[in-house]
Structure 1
């Protein structure tokens, strides 16, 4: 189908509904149904076409590996909670922390063993660091900022063994396929990491606050600290953050499986990417990424279960945590499937051709990355979800890159950066709400003390996207 203005209707319906309702799954579903109807020309056939798009999203082996990886990694992070690993790290940290700076740095100290998933990281670091900040009589608002940054901003920059990697690869793979771009989604993701200026900037801010204070908390808005409406609330997040470790503290129960997981991923990257004359680095770049991370996670899950069973952890307890952890990842899995399906529908409507003829040829490429970043920032703030924003903005951003000649890794970095804003400062974002609950800070206080620094980084990032595009030509 030749691209015309009708091709943007599914995307507009999805984005508009998401902003109004703050619910991304119904919004994607509505946009997908609209796409199916527009493709076929009538309601009844459109419903059937919608189901075809959804089933097609499962048919790709790469997609199936990503879905299974997300479920298994969610299960693995939940199983970690049952065997005393987090308590063990907390006990080790308490011996060394004497002041506020030490309590804040403890978040970074625990991060190498909690970076698998943002929610797991928030819960684990909060469990370790909250008693330490109280012991040092330090600022819990500073602690909330550091925990938030090391989850929502740091994890998106880590290219192995995280739930973010699987999801981001799925979004990029779908977008580059629709845009007609060849190459590895993983390689493109690696190239985009230095261009995620917002996430990098917030990490720098967190260190400046830890070591220099940086006037933290001086800028406030009036408010009672309550969140009157939205997707999440503090009670919900508090319930999510509670978990019971029935076994003695043992840091090795977290450390050993994590080392195993990372080692297996690196080995399988090399194993699946090796070829005649390829160096180790070249093998990693040419790896079967989706298959490798799935197998590594599956093997780690099995061996971790065996380790815990040998320590007398009941298998029934492990099974319960396995199902709970996998279920927690169902929302992003559904979002990913729907975004894949919506992308197929918009392609059939000629969305790519329409964007190429309009925005791509009228806006100078110098400003394309900055515009993509700001659109993503706006979207993620009002939706409160980085994952949903990436799925909505990535296809548009890559097509704009193709039609305007903008640098493709820079555009991917702009999409990831813009989507990350919501998980940092939106009062509707899962990470801010969960962080506020775990650190016992009101959500409004957490957002208001973080927002001034985020606004500065947003402004600087916008400038950097323009300057970088100019330098890259």
Structure 2
């Protein structure tokens, strides 16, 4: 049964690579896990494996922490919709543009990158806001749309995975909450930030291209060609910046307060799942009240906005649920213990971090989704932490960084496509011009994780 215990994760990965369907891969893996558990207990009712899978899902939802995370993930969708559809995000962007600080190529690039950093609540929203805002600036200073696509794409995903006060953070937190680790899941998530070498180095390289005005490889030819595609994109009309700042501020500072409150005065001892749920719920109420009290929406239309936002995140919430459930089944099956023993025997400890980073990159590149990569690799990486005593921050950072790396290189990625759309750049041109930068940073990151492995182990 030891070797068979790794079959479900392999099935999940194979289906994701073949069909580009994360939910299908997780679902088939879950059923196959329950089938193996039935075989292991000599249960003759093997056809009950699908029924057992449903029971496993129900038992997962019954856990208070898991239920809070799932509700929180839905509420994040509503909050993002309130902030977006109110015009608050675009109002903040407009203030930055109209301040008169974009008076040179460097300043135009700098404000574009800064805007992508400010709008960290969602990667696609970040690239749309900063890309559409900066088109005229890049045209004015004779900078290519391919360069714009690179700046917004290589700013949005890294900053979203570093700041984590967004749907990404909620999603990863939900995956981590399924494991009993020495550190609080929220504290561990934040502790991984300094070790996410790919995201940090990518931001540094973007800053380098902006402030030195140097581009290399295919990007240099793109600067000569100056090709552009002017697509029309419907975005909410700018209103008041407070529609974004106030709800977002409540979510940020509310989370910190409730961490302190649930931890009896100790932030690190607080409940992450309770804190983010309480803060996001209050932020949603405030966002809703701001919409209707300012006459922008009626109660009915505001509720529709909120539920539409929830529906946008429903596939991700489904992935979270199935991933947590699969992790629970694999724990009973003993997959993590077996993989940890296999790694410990056949792979030098210092190569585990580079291997996780490369695995994440390959999966993300071939599927075009870093979210699905996290859903499959975190349930593999966390048992390694528990069994081999690996530093959880480094393991998590390697997985997250690998997912972002593959996403940057992949023409299948939705962020890559939306970055091209927002910048008015051909998709394949964007992939071709961004790829050398991503590969260079990825190579350095592999070396850094190998060095970190040597130092730690």
TM-score, with length taken from structure 2: 0.90
Given that 1:40 and 1:46 are in contact with CA atoms closer than 8 Å, whether structure 2 keeps it comes out as: yes
By how many angstroms is 1:220 displaced?
9.1
Matched with 2:25 is 27
Distance in 1, Cα, partners of 2:24 & 2:220 = 35
Distance 1:71 1:363, change over 3 A: same
Matched with 2:349 is 365
Given that 2:138 and 2:144 are in contact with CA atoms closer than 8 Å, whether structure 1 keeps it comes out as: yes
Per-residue CA shift, 1:199-226, capped at 9, x if unaligned? 111111110111123424536999xxxx
Matched with 2:115 is 110
Per-residue CA shift, 1:278-307, capped at 9, x if unaligned? xxxxx2211211111111111111112222
1:121 aligns with 2:104: no
Secondary structure at the counterpart of residue 177 of structure 2: helix
By how many angstroms is 1:405 displaced?
4.8
Matched with 2:234 is 242
Distance 1:10 1:300, change over 3 A: same
Matched with 1:292 is 275
Distance in 1, Cα, partners of 2:188 & 2:162 = 13
Q: Structure 1: which 5+ runs fail to align?
A: 223-233, 276-282
Distance 1:434 1:100, change over 3 A: same
Secondary structure at the counterpart of residue 437 of structure 1: helix
Distance 1:407 1:295, change over 3 A: closer
- Once the two structures are superposed, the pairs formed by residues 37-116 of structure 1 within 5 Å of their partners are 37-41=35-39, 42-95=45-98, 96=100, 97-111=102-116, 113-116=118-121
Matched with 2:391 is 407
Given that 1:406 and 1:469 are in contact with CA atoms closer than 8 Å, whether structure 2 keeps it comes out as: no
Secondary structure at the counterpart of residue 192 of structure 2: helix
Matched with 2:241 is 251
Distance in 2, Cα, partners of 1:340 & 1:256 = 32
1:165 aligns with 2:153: no
Matched with 1:226 is none
Matched with 2:155 is 150
1:433 aligns with 2:417: yes
Matched with 1:205 is 205
Let me know the Cα RMSD of the aligned residues: 2.4
The structure, 1 or 2, with the larger RCO (C-alpha pairs under 8 Å, 6+ apart) is: 1
Secondary structure at the counterpart of residue 243 of structure 1: coil
Distance 1:469 1:43, change over 3 A: same
Out of 314, 328, 343, the position equivalent to 2:312 is 328
By how many angstroms is 1:401 displaced?
4.1
Given that 1:384 and 1:426 are in contact with CA atoms closer than 8 Å, whether structure 2 keeps it comes out as: yes
Distance 1:64 1:113, change over 3 A: farther
Given that 2:411 and 2:427 are in contact with CA atoms closer than 8 Å, whether structure 1 keeps it comes out as: yes
Distance in 2, Cα, partners of 1:243 & 1:401 = 43
Given that 1:394 and 1:412 are in contact with CA atoms closer than 8 Å, whether structure 2 keeps it comes out as: yes
Distance in 2, Cα, partners of 1:131 & 1:256 = 29
1:262 aligns with 2:252: yes
Given that 1:366 and 1:406 are in contact with CA atoms closer than 8 Å, whether structure 2 keeps it comes out as: no
Distance in 2, Cα, partners of 1:65 & 1:55 = 14
Distance in 2, Cα, partners of 1:172 & 1:91 = 37
By how many angstroms is 1:403 displaced?
4.6
Given that 2:70 and 2:174 are in contact with CA atoms closer than 8 Å, whether structure 1 keeps it comes out as: no
Given that 2:353 and 2:449 are in contact with CA atoms closer than 8 Å, whether structure 1 keeps it comes out as: yes
Given that 1:90 and 1:129 are in contact with CA atoms closer than 8 Å, whether structure 2 keeps it comes out as: no
Given that 2:87 and 2:236 are in contact with CA atoms closer than 8 Å, whether structure 1 keeps it comes out as: no
Given that 1:114 and 1:121 are in contact with CA atoms closer than 8 Å, whether structure 2 keeps it comes out as: yes
TM-score, with length taken from structure 1: 0.87
Distance in 1, Cα, partners of 2:290 & 2:214 = 45
Matched with 2:225 is none
Distance 1:393 1:371, change over 3 A: same
Given that 2:174 and 2:320 are in contact with CA atoms closer than 8 Å, whether structure 1 keeps it comes out as: yes
Distance in 1, Cα, partners of 2:94 & 2:163 = 27
By how many angstroms is 1:462 displaced?
0.8
Distance in 2, Cα, partners of 1:111 & 1:291 = 29
Given that 2:192 and 2:397 are in contact with CA atoms closer than 8 Å, whether structure 1 keeps it comes out as: yes
Between stretches 14-23 and 36-45, larger displacement belongs to 36-45
Matched with 1:231 is none
Q: Give the count of matched residue pairs.
A: 443
- Once the two structures are superposed, the pairs formed by residues 381-392 of structure 1 within 5 Å of their partners are 381-392=365-376
Matched with 1:452 is 436
